[in-house]
Structure 1
Amino acid sequence: MCGAAGLFETAPRASPAAAADRPPANQERPMDDLFHNPPRTIVLATDLSARCDRAFDRAVSLARRWDAELIALTVVEADAAAQQREPLPAWRRKATAAELAQRQLRADLAGVGIRAGSRIAHGEVASAILEAAADSGAGLIVTGLSRDETLGRFSAGDTVDRLARRAGVPLLVVRKRAHGDYRRIVAASDFSDASRRALETAASWFDAAVLTLLHAYDPPYAKLMDRSAMREDFRAVAVEDCERFVATLAPELRARLATRVELGAPEDLLDDYAIESDSDLAVLGSHGRSALYDIMIGSVARRVLEQTAIDVLLVPEPKAAGSRAAGV
């Protein structure tokens, strides 16, 4: 239930499903199953720099928890050593960028204690990542790329934007160092089907975490309103919408869900609430009826990723995911 106070306590969570009950990793999965059950294959997109170590650690942690296969992927450009045609003794031949990357990936994956493999790709970065995810049947893409950093000649911000627009599976952008499982998750919601899918995915994948639904209402000309009248009217409508939305959720999800309804821009409130509540993961639907969830508007997605200091999980809308998977 969503009341004027906004925040409610949650009930104990159920235990995770046994990994042994899962079908083979390469078996095609229905879209609903893909999102409602933890992925059996994870693609980690890394540029092999120290800034991607946090994403590596998180991807390994998730693969271990879900008994999933991890595919570590890096995209390299052709270099002079790869194009060299003159035969040279082995000791004089310089290793190509692809060979060096393969060595590092293998060294990083050695001894992690999970099913893992590496892949080297060439070309446009986002396209190569999406191709690897499609080829492997991955249910999650993990990356640690940040807006002001680069991957080859491509900007990492552009790469994340392209992945957010085009990925048919959830995208996890890692910011923080992994200290165990995600403990507190805030799911932004505009009460659309997209935000419902994002919330349900987070609840299923992270079944031991405390969940909070955050709804940000930002009425037009809010700064010009009388605080004691019109703003309260807008809040009452938002709270009522929240109550109706929560009432449609599965009972087990309602039992573990806290809610908060606040006035303000979603990207601002997400960051503020994450700090105040010590949340370690924000969850968003990639499409919905408000600008926050329309990831096709790159500037909005970028503001969320820029301003939210914690890890962000972007979950595509079912119809959009199906279209992307079909190459539409």
Structure 2
Amino acid sequence: MFKHILIAHDLRDTADMALCRAAQLAQQHGAKLTMLHVLDANESDQQHEKARQALDLSLTRYAPAGCELHVRSGSKPSEVVLQQVEELGCDLLVLGAHHQRHDFFSGTSLDRIARRCPVPLLLVARNDYQPYLRALSAIDFSLCAVSALNQAYYLLPASAELHALHVFEPIKGSPKQIQDQLQLQCGLIDQLMLDEAQKLPEEGPSLSHSVEQGGILRCLQENIRSRDIEVLVLGSHGRSALSQALLGSLAQHFLHRAPCDIFVVR
């Protein structure tokens, strides 16, 4: 259950998409919603006034009653966003996806926020504001991946389906050795999911899991398409080989080429 959601709005169309999703989640969780905009310190007062007018319009159109608007100034918007998360005591940060370069709130800023954000980050890429129905979680044996799965369970409504996918990338060996490794991985994941399910409340999304052999990027992409996934759940760091991959090129791939909404948990 989330209590205070922060939506960082940078005046792009995807920021309004993110605001609509944040408003839906605030209603679902009975949470407070705050909208933050970081003014570009290099812009003129006239440009700042136009930005405030655009923000007021977005608030009127998409935000629920009681949503607060915080306008701050800074040369590094990522630092301001992270500072506001801490100062306001927010427990979920929502951003719009970056499908094309934006100089002030660049991909580098997004990477920095994803790496340092102390609370779960939801990157919104879909123009759909109905409650989530289908989520996919990349699972391994790290605490970070398990934490991401648990946070996603609380994010989703009880009507949703949460599927955990473990991707087995075998080391070199004979076909029999690889098959034995796969069976071992399946048994370990079965036990892990059983243990985690017993810790979760009964009222929540349906939980399922599977193990697939292959490359993690391809397997995730195929499952996103075949299962019509609305939100992909990733742990942002950990000690296992899979978690290290999620922290590096894989996380960057999905953050900057989001095929659906992306939920990132440290």
Structure 2 length-normalised TM: 0.88
Encode CA deviations 1:111-153: one digit per residue, 9 max, x unaligned.
633321112222201101111111111111111131632142x
8 Å contact from structure 2 (residues 24, 129) kept in 1: no
Residue 188 of structure 2 is aligned with which of 237, 241, 256? 241
Q: Judging changes above 3 Å, is the alpha-carbon distance between structure 1 residues 144 and 253 closer, same or farther for their aligned structure 2 residues?
A: same
Residue 6 of structure 2 is aligned with which of 43, 68, 72? 43
Aligned residue pairs, count: 260
Matches within 5 A, 1:232-311: 232-251=179-198, 253=200, 256-294=206-244, 297-306=247-256, 308-311=258-261
Q: Name the SS of the counterpart of 2:100 in structure 1.
A: coil
Gaps spanning 5+ residues in structure 1: where?
1-37, 83-94, 317-328
Deviation at 1:172, TM superposition (A): 0.5
Residue 119 of structure 1 is aligned with which of 56, 70, 75? 70
8 Å contact from structure 1 (residues 102, 119) kept in 2: no
Q: Judging changes above 3 Å, is the alpha-carbon distance between structure 1 residues 60 and 309 closer, same or farther for their aligned structure 2 residues?
A: same
Deviation at 1:254, TM superposition (A): 9.5
Question: Is 1:54 matched with 2:17?
Answer: yes
Question: Is 1:102 matched with 2:49?
Answer: no
Q: Name the SS of the counterpart of 2:130 in structure 1.
A: coil
Structure 1 letter corresponding to 2:146:
R
Deviation at 1:159, TM superposition (A): 1.6
Residue 138 of structure 1 is aligned with which of 90, 102, 124? 90
Encode CA deviations 1:141-169: one digit per residue, 9 max, x unaligned.
111131632142x52x2122101110000
**CA distance in structure 1 between the aligned counterparts of 2:245 and 2:65, rounded to whole angstroms:** 33
**Relative to structure 2, which stretch is displaced further, 195-204 or 285-294?**
285-294
Deviation at 1:264, TM superposition (A): 2.0
Q: Which one has the largest radius of gyration? A: 1
**RMSD (Å) for aligned C-alpha atoms:** 2.3
Structure 2 letter corresponding to 1:246:
M
Matches within 5 A, 1:1-328: 38-79=1-42, 81-82=44-45, 95=46, 97-110=47-60, 112-121=63-72, 122-146=74-98, 148-152=100-104, 154-155=105-106, 157-208=107-158, 209-221=160-172, 226=174, 228-251=175-198, 253=200, 256-294=206-244, 297-306=247-256, 308-316=258-266
**Relative to structure 2, which stretch is displaced further, 124-133 or 212-221?**
212-221
**Among the aligned pairs, what percent are the same residue?**
30
**CA distance in structure 2 between the aligned counterparts of 1:299 and 1:250, rounded to whole angstroms:** 30
8 Å contact from structure 1 (residues 267, 307) kept in 2: no
**CA distance in structure 2 between the aligned counterparts of 1:106 and 1:308, rounded to whole angstroms:** 28
Structure 1 letter corresponding to 2:22:
A
**CA distance in structure 2 between the aligned counterparts of 1:140 and 1:201, rounded to whole angstroms:** 10
Gaps spanning 5+ residues in structure 2: where?
none
Q: Judging changes above 3 Å, is the alpha-carbon distance between structure 1 residues 126 and 166 closer, same or farther for their aligned structure 2 residues?
A: same
**CA distance in structure 2 between the aligned counterparts of 1:295 and 1:45, rounded to whole angstroms:** 27
8 Å contact from structure 2 (residues 234, 246) kept in 1: no
8 Å contact from structure 2 (residues 137, 232) kept in 1: yes
Q: Judging changes above 3 Å, is the alpha-carbon distance between structure 1 residues 148 and 248 closer, same or farther for their aligned structure 2 residues?
A: same
**CA distance in structure 2 between the aligned counterparts of 1:254 and 1:71, rounded to whole angstroms:** 28
**CA distance in structure 2 between the aligned counterparts of 1:253 and 1:132, rounded to whole angstroms:** 30
8 Å contact from structure 1 (residues 165, 295) kept in 2: no
**CA distance in structure 2 between the aligned counterparts of 1:171 and 1:105, rounded to whole angstroms:** 22
**CA distance in structure 2 between the aligned counterparts of 1:127 and 1:306, rounded to whole angstroms:** 19
**CA distance in structure 2 between the aligned counterparts of 1:220 and 1:162, rounded to whole angstroms:** 33
**CA distance in structure 2 between the aligned counterparts of 1:44 and 1:284, rounded to whole angstroms:** 20
Structure 1 length-normalised TM: 0.72
Deviation at 1:261, TM superposition (A): 0.3
Tell me what 1:34 maps to: none
Encode CA deviations 1:92-115: one digit per residue, 9 max, x unaligned.
xxx2x3322222212211263332
